[in-house]
Chains A and B, each alone.
Chain A
């Protein structure tokens, strides 16, 4: 369980002086790991417009929420 801690608002005093994000080095590594995977799965020439999503609610048989697309 996460302990109570003091909040740390992000103070930005200029565009060239933006403090580091509120994540540690290892969390950044995980983000990099996932980002590389995404890069691998969607190479530059992949055509995302061919991807046709399916509503999760539609799959669950909830007819009230099938209006998107």
Chain B
């Protein structure tokens, strides 16, 4: 056993392996470590190194890059700690969701036609590495697999929406002066809107979710068959929020949403939850070992099959016909009237 393994817990050692200079961790005294998240200690060390090396980069941007890799390691510990206030919980959820949106965007851009081949390769390898770590026992314990499946579910839903002719809008996921200023906080964390899809005169505010198994609607417990085995989800569910459950004025001024409303002033707005299956059979992982060009591998990553994609397309069409959506132009008048009254 080397010096590093003797002085830090096993889990810390393992995550330290992900970092360029894990030995430097030992320079931080035990009593200065954050008891809620020892992982932070190693990130702090790397952060210092990067600040030294890239002196003209703002600390916020360095944090942003670091979060892309190491943020997911922290979320489990945070969620289990009951001492955090509501705002602290919102802040960490904003971080987590921002990384999710960045990874989604990276993966989608890497599969795009005019992408830099070097970027494509880097992202493909990074996704493969995340996947390898996330599906290991270590990764499952750290709930990295859950995080990665969330990213894949978002990618799967976006790909299906794009193939149906929608324009898709992701929130600006870059760090802001305050987390509350972030469109990710305002849209996703506070209002459950992961992304916006626009098709013709309809705007869909979408909460994209993935589950491996079917759940009981009320208890959310995993459904089981007669033998007690969990029922693997194999279908898409699209749930449209009822008119009386939400309103448009509460979305006015929400960064990311407001811009889309302004561009489509007469649109009908729908609020949907799209739930897709996440088992490998339906939401394929990345595979760089099958001899195909990297571009093909990344394009098929997290792509739903044509049957499930069609289910999503038909679900959108049902929503358009359901009369459940709210008219933006009408809402404008209501908002003005309410204000003047």
A contact residues vs B (CB 8 Å cutoff): 1-2, 4, 7-23, 26-28, 30-32, 34-35, 37-39, 41-42, 48-49, 51-57, 59-62, 64-65, 68-69
Among B45-101, those with CB < 8 Å from A are 50, 54, 57-58, 60-61, 64-65, 68-69, 76-77, 80-82, 101
Verify if B255 is at the interface (C-beta below 8 Å from A).
yes
Instruction: Find the A residue at minimum CB distance from B76.
Output: A68
Q: Mark B24-58, 1 if CB is under 8 A from A, else 0.
A: 00000000000111110000000000100010011
Which residues of B sit under 8 angstroms from A41, Cβ to Cβ? Answer: 17-18
Distance from A61 Cβ to chain B, minimum over Cβ atoms (Å)? 8
B contact residues vs A (CB 8 Å cutoff): 9-12, 14, 17-20, 35-39, 50, 54, 57-58, 60-61, 64-65, 68-69, 76-77, 80-82, 101-102, 105-106, 108-109, 111-113, 119, 122, 125-126, 129, 132-133, 136-139, 141-142, 158-159, 162-163, 167-177, 183, 255-256, 259-260, 299
Distance from B283 Cβ to chain A, minimum over Cβ atoms (Å)? 16
Q: B105 and A49: CB pair below 8 A?
A: no
Distance from B45 Cβ to chain A, minimum over Cβ atoms (Å)? 13
Q: B105 and A15: CB pair below 8 A?
A: no
Give A18 to B108 CA distance when docked, in angstroms.
7
Instruction: Find the A residue at minimum CB distance from B171.
Output: A9
Give A64 to B256 CA distance when docked, in angstroms.
40
6 contacts between A and B (CB under 8 A): A9-B260, A19-B109, A48-B138, A57-B80, A61-B35, A68-B80
The 5 closest A-B pairs by CB, nearest first: A48-B136, A60-B35, A53-B11, A54-B11, A51-B138
Q: A22 and B173: CB pair below 8 A?
A: yes
Give A28 to B61 CA distance when docked, in angstroms.
11
Which residue in B19, B37, B109, B177 is a CB contact (below 8 Å) of A21? B109
Which residue in B37, B60, B69, B172 is a CB contact (below 8 Å) of A2? B60
Distance from B310 Cβ to chain A, minimum over Cβ atoms (Å)? 16
Extra 9 A-B pairs, beta carbons < 8 Å, given A7-B172, A21-B106, A53-B141? A9-B171, A12-B167, A12-B169, A31-B68, A42-B18, A42-B132, A51-B136, A56-B38, A59-B38
Which residues of B sit under 8 angstroms from A35, Cβ to Cβ? Answer: 69, 122, 125-126, 129
Q: A53 and B10: CB pair below 8 A?
A: yes
Which residue in A10, A30, A39, A60 is a CB contact (below 8 Å) of B169? A10
Which residue in B18, B101, B109, B299 is a CB contact (below 8 Å) of A38? B18
Which residues of B sit under 8 angstroms from A30, Cβ to Cβ? Answer: 50, 54, 65
Q: A12 and B11: CB pair below 8 A?
A: no
Q: A26 and B81: CB pair below 8 A?
A: no
Q: B122 and A27: CB pair below 8 A?
A: no
Instruction: Find the B residue at minimum CB distance from A15.
Output: B162
Knowing A21-B102, A51-B137, A53-B10, say if A10 contacts B38 (CB, 8 Å): no
Give A68 to B11 CA distance when docked, in angstroms.
13
Give A54 to B102 CA distance when docked, in angstroms.
29
Give A51 to B113 CA distance when docked, in angstroms.
38
Which residue in A27, A28, A49, A59 is a CB contact (below 8 Å) of B136? A49
Which residue in B14, B69, B106, B158 is a CB contact (below 8 Å) of A53? B14
Distance from B78 Cβ to chain A, minimum over Cβ atoms (Å)? 10
Distance from B291 Cβ to chain A, minimum over Cβ atoms (Å)? 15
Instruction: Find the B residue at minimum CB distance from A12.
Output: B168
Which residues of B sit under 8 angstroms from A57, Cβ to Cβ? Answer: 35-36, 77, 80-81
Which residues of A sit under 8 angstroms from B175, Cβ to Cβ? Answer: 2
